[in-house]
Amino acid sequence: MTQRALRAAIVGGGIGGLTAALALQRAGVDFRVYEQAKEFTEVGAGVALGPNAVRLLNRLGIESRLDAIASRPSAYQRRRWHDGKVIVDSRTAGLLGRRMSLTVHRAQLLDVLVSGVAERYLEPGKRCTAVEQRDDEVHLTFDDGSTAVADTVVGADGIHSVVRSAYQQDAPVFSGKIAYRGLVPMERLSFLGEDRHLHRMWLGPNQHFLTYPIAAGAVMNVVAFVPADGSWAVESWSAPGEVERLAEHFEGWDPTVLGIIGALDRTMRWALYDREPLPKWTFGRVTLLGDAAHSMLPHQGQGAGQSVEDAIVLARCLERARPDTVETWLHRYERIRKERTARVQSASRQSGEIYDLTDPKEQERRAASTLATKGEWLWGYDADEEFDKAVAGMKA
C-alpha cells in the first residue's frame, strides 16, 4: 500500500511561519498555517534581511516583489554619540565588501509572503491553546473550541510560544534595555542629504541610536535603545511611547540624532528579551522555529533571518518525511540548525554590549568588530548548502 502524504500544521503566521508555508507549498507538502490574529498583519516597524536570508527568499520566487518594497542602504556606519564623528564606515573599512542587507517594512514583507501562499492553506483567527501528541498524530485545540489534527506541528508562534510552553518551562530573559521605535517620512529628513541612504548607528554610554531606510527609501526606520528605568518592562512591540521622553534620553547627543527624533510624530516602545538556548527544541512530532526556538536580541539584525533559515531547512526535511519518519527528520532539522542559531544569539548579545559600553575608547576600539561579525560566517552562510551537506553525510 502507498503511504499517505504528510500533514503539517504551522502555529503562527509571522515571517518564519509564512516562509515555511511558501517553501512547503513549493515542495508539495500538505499543511495549514494557524494564526491567532484575524488577519496576517505586522506592526509598523523596519526589519533588516541579511544576504543569508535574501538568497533563500529569492529562491522561493518572490525576488521581484521583495525588490519592490526593499531599500538597499549604501553603507554601514558607526558614529560617536556626542559629535557624530564616523568611527567605522563599511565602504572604507573593507569589512563587508559589496554585501549589504535589504531593509524593509515588516508589514510590507508579510504582505509579500502571504500573497504567495494559496488561501486554502491559511487559517486566520485561530489562537492555539493546547498541543497534545496522541499515538501517531498531534492534536491542536483553539480558543474558539475548534480542533485540528496533523502528523507534525511546527511552533512558529514567537517568544511566548504556546507550543514551546507545552514542552519547556522557561522564561524570557530581560536584557535591561528598552527600545523606542518610530517611522519618519523621508521627505521630512532633507537635512540628512545623501546620508539618508545609509544604515547608521550612534554609539554612546549605555545606549545607542539606529536609523535605516525602508519602504523603497520612502520612510526612515528609527530605533533608540536606552536603559530600562525600573518601572516599565513590557514586552510589546506596540506599546505607546512618548517622543518627548525619547528626546530626553538623548539630550547632549549629535544634533542630527535630535533632528531625527524631532521629526517623529509618535513612537512605540518595547522591552528587549531573549531566551537561553534550549537543550533541544524537537519533542517527538512537534518542533519549533524562529523566536519560539531561539529568540534573540536585535543587535545582529538576524531575528527574521534566522527564522527564514529555519523555515527553509525545515521545509526540505518535511519534503522528505512521511508520517512514520517525520520524527527522524525533525531531529535532523534541529541538528542542522541548533549550533548555528546559538552562535547568532551569542553574537547578538555581544554586539549589544559593545554598543552600550561606558568607556568611549574601548567602544571605538571594538566598534569595527560589530560589522566584522556579519562577514563570512553570518552572511555567507547558505542554509540550502548546509542541508545538502547534512544529507550527504547521512548517506556516506
The one catalytic residue among 34, 212, 273, 355: 212
User: How many Cβ atoms sit within 10 Å of the Cβ of residue 118?
Assistant: 8
The answer to whether 114 and 127 have CB atoms below 8 angstroms apart is no
- Residue corresponding to grid cell 519618519: 184
Give Cβ neighbours of residue 189 (< 8 Å, ≥ 6 apart): 196, 220, 259, 260, 263
The answer to whether 15 and 110 have CB atoms below 8 angstroms apart is yes
Q: Where are the alpha helices (DSSP H) in the chain?
A: 15-27, 51-57, 63-69, 90-93, 106-115, 162-165, 243-249, 255-262, 291-294, 303-320, 326-355, 360-372, 383-395
CA 320 vs CA 92, 330, 331, 391: distances in Å: 46, 11, 13, 11
Task: Give kind and range of the element (H or E) at residue 154.
Answer: strand 152-155
Fill in the DSSP letter of residue 190: G
Does residue 76 have an active-site annotation?
no
Q: How far is 283 from 172, CA to CA, in rounded Å?
A: 20
Catalytic residues: 212
